[in-house]
Amino acid sequence: MIKVRGLTKSFGSQPVLRGVDLDVPDGSITVIIGRSGGGKSVFLKHLLGLLRPDAGQVLINGTDVTNLGGRAMDEVRQHYGVVFQGGALFDSLTCFDNVAFPLREKTQLGDREIADRVEKRLAQVGLVGVEKKYPAEVSGGMRKRVAIARALVTEPEIVFFDEPTTGLDPVLVNTIHRLIRDLHRAFGFTAVMVSHEIPEIFEVADTVAMLHEGRIVAVGPPAAIQGSANPVVKQFIHGEPELQA
């Protein structure tokens, strides 16, 4: 479903992506790990069509989206759901209206069908009775669940998760990870997730790719990454300090 080939991006004289190659298997959860500043967010923005690369391709269902714009890119994004870091809920909208927002903006559904979909998605993420509450009136973990419900309400083929558990305690991290796994089994979407949550993320991922200094240095199932002999991978997943020259 997603193929990345030779993706390169610099900002001024600073290279960020140095030729990234990655295949995201259809219907899988692929997690991108790596140190802060290693290019993960920049990489994700290229998949979303928010940045144009200096070179390379991002193929979504066989279509190179790197040169798309306007209506053509909007058509590709109709197949996307996005869970932003921090949730990115609208503070002035209720939880119900936050989840309903993409349906009202992108579809011609009537109010009754929108309400049915919203209520169903909120129930699927374990939120019943919060419809009239505002984001400031619910907990951080509940806000994450509302954001996930919003991402799934349009029934997307591809869901992007940008650090979906940022700011949560370890118990809530595991709760959100289990929820993502359960929803993935229920809906079968293809997922790309950026995460720092080591080792918890290995329980969620089908494939793990480590981005280091703008390149994918390791990719494979969680067990292979955890057992990697690559010193960069070992150092990162075991939380060891970087060696100084």
Q: What is the pLDDT of residue 244?
A: 46
Question: What is the structure's pLDDT at 103?
Answer: 94
Q: What is the CA radius of gyration of the chain?
A: 18
Residues 164 and 57 in one domain: yes
Query: What is the model's pLDDT at position 241?
Result: 66
162 and 237 housed in the same domain = yes
What is the total count of domains within the chain? Answer: 2
pTM over 0.75? The answer is yes
Supply the range of the domain harboring residue 118: 87-155
Domain match, 75 and 104 both? no
- Based on the domain organization, do 166 and 227 belong to the same domain? yes
Nearest to 40 by CA among 173, 212, 167: 212
Structure tokens that stand for 4 in this block? 């990345």
What's the CATH code of the domain at 206? 3.40.50.300
Query: Do 5 and 108 sit in the same domain of this protein?
Result: no
User: Are residues 3 and 15 located together in one domain of the fold?
Assistant: yes
Same domain, 143 and 178: no
- Residues 181 and 194 placed together within one structural domain of the fold: yes
Model pLDDT, residue 119: 95
pLDDT value of residue 242: 61
pLDDT of residue 150: 96
CA distances (Å), 231 to each of 32, 138, 236, 238, 239, in order?
18, 42, 9, 10, 12
Same domain, 56 and 163: yes
Is 103 in the same domain as 187? no
Average pLDDT per block of 10 residues along the chain, 245 residues long: 94 94 95 90 92 94 87 88 89 96 92 95 93 94 94 95 88 92 94 92 95 94 94 87 53
